[in-house]
């Protein structure tokens, strides 16, 4: 059984169709990178996987649980699907430690002590243990994003979703975030990553999806995608971003 199973989903914003009949699968331990020009629907696609964007057609199964079924407890499901946002979205009024523990206590019903221990353990893994009592506004962008990753990991997720995790960062901070993500991938975490960082894709991705105008037009193993994509559109895109 695939960890994430997306079956023929479509989504409209009013009359604008954001996703057109998209299907793909992510196996356990697999790293999937999604790329494509801006406005192609890649961010929408990843947000449908934990139900932040509702879909009008199709079906999504996460670990065998249907997202569209009204019986599904969405908060419980989301608690086990980690998500990292483009703009970090740490809660600015809570300290780093409180950011890490809030959902553990309120959703997973862990004790404060247990949640704190878990949170700090992951904070150490992203190398920011000494920042535990600071507030998000006092950290750099790269540090904030690493805290956001630690926040998602401390919920013990079964898979992780990354929505352009480095595109709001200054260039010198991108690598510190990518390093954390690479380590995570190498440890066998199931990951879906929307990114333009092709270096990251080459290094750890198993498969790459290329999207355009709401459609998935390439879904290939990494070697094939970088070697010889099937469509001209994907080739053009690759030429543009790999030129530099």
CB 195 within 8 A of CB 211: no
Q: What does the binding site for another protein look like in residue numbers (CB under 8 A)?
A: 47, 50, 52, 75-81, 83, 85-87, 89-93, 102-103, 106-108, 134-139, 151-152, 155
| Rounded least distance, CB 107 to another protein, Å | 4
| Rounded least distance, CB 84 to another protein, Å | 9
Helix (H, G, I), strand (E, B) or coil at 208: strand
| Rounded least distance, CB 47 to another protein, Å | 7
| CB nearer to another protein: pick between 78 and 207 | 78
| CB nearer to another protein: pick between 167 and 175 | 167
Residue environment code for 166-197, b if the CB has 16+ CB neighbours within 10 A, otherwise e: beebeeebbbbbbebbbebbeeebbbbbbbbb
- Residue 120's DSSP bridge partners are none
| CB nearer to another protein: pick between 21 and 89 | 89
| CB nearer to another protein: pick between 68 and 175 | 68
| Rounded least distance, CB 238 to another protein, Å | 29
Helices vs. strands in the chain: H and E counts, helices first: 9, 10
What does each C-alpha distance from 184 to 89, 189, 227, 243 come to in angstroms? 20, 6, 25, 28
| Rounded least distance, CB 104 to another protein, Å | 9
- 135 by Cβ neighbours in 10 Å (0-12 / 13-18 / 19+) ranks as middle
Report the candidate in 185, 193, 190, 207 with the shortest Cα–Cα distance to residue 163.
Answer: 193
């Amino acid at each position: 059984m695939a960890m994430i199973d997306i079956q023929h989903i479509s989504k409209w914003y009013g009359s604008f169709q954001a996703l057109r009949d998209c299907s793909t699968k992510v196996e356990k331990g697999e790293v999937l990178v999604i790329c494509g020009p801006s406005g192609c629907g890649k961010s929408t696609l990843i947000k449908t996987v934990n139900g932040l964007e509702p879909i009008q057609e199709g079906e999504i199964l996460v670990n065998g649980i249907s997202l569209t079924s009204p019986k599904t407890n969405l908060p419980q499901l989301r608690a086990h699907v980690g998500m990292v946002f483009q703009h970090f979205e740490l809660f600015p009024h809570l300290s780093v430690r409180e950011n890490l523990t809030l959902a553990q206590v309120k959703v997973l019903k862990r004790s404060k002590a247990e949640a704190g221990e878990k949170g700090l353990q992951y904070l150490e893994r992203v190398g920011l243990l000494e920042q535990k009592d600071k507030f998000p506004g006092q950290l750099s962008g790269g540090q904030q994003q690493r805290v956001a990753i630690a926040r998602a990991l401390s919920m013990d997720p079964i898979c992780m979703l990354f929505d352009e995790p480095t595109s709001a960062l200054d260039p010198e901070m991108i690598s510190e975030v990518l390093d954390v993500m690479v380590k995570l991938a190498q440890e066998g975490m199931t990951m879906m990553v929307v990114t333009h960082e092709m270096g990251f894709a080459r290094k750890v991705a198993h498969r790459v999806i290329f999207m355009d105008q709401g459609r998935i037009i390439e879904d290939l193993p990494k070697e094939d995608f970088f070697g010889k994509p099937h469509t001209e559109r994907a080739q053009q895109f690759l030429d543009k971003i790999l030129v530099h």
